[in-house]
């Protein structure tokens, strides 16, 4: 699992916590790689759709949108269920 974000993203921590919580609920112990995306050049190279981005097996869990070094809307866990 990869979690991509940039410094100052207000939802990065919540995304990490949610990913760990869901994995624990499913009795999984995935390796979680945290990737910093510092600029637009890296955003394009990494196919980054906004901060935070969560990928499993290289696939974005919420595909769509444009490649950009920008904030991405993030729903709190209670709104995802």
At 17-41, the pLDDT tens digits run 999 999 999 999 999 999 999 998 9
User: Which domain, by its residues, includes 53?
Assistant: 2-75
- Is 6 inside any structural domain? yes
Confidence of residue 59 (pLDDT cuts 50, 70, 90): very high
- Is 36 inside any structural domain? yes
CA distance 76 to 66: 22
- Structural domains in the chain (count): 1
Confidence of residue 78 (pLDDT cuts 50, 70, 90): low
Q: Is the pTM of this model over 0.85?
A: no
- Is 13 inside any structural domain? yes
Backbone angles phi, psi at 43, to 5 degrees: -60, -45
- Is 80 inside any structural domain? no
Q: In the structure, how many helices (H) and strands (E) does the chain have? A: 3, 4
């Amino acid at each position: 699992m990869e979690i991509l974000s940039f410094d100052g993203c207000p939802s990065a921590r919540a995304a990490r916590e949610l990913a760990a919580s869901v994995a624990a609920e499913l009795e999984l112990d995935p390796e979680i790689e945290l990737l910093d995306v510092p600029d637009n050049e890296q955003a394009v190279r990494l196919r980054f759709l906004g901060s935070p981005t969560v990928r499993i097996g290289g696939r974005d869990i919420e595909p769509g949108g444009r490649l950009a070094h920008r904030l991405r809307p993030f729903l709190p866990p209670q709104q995802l269920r």
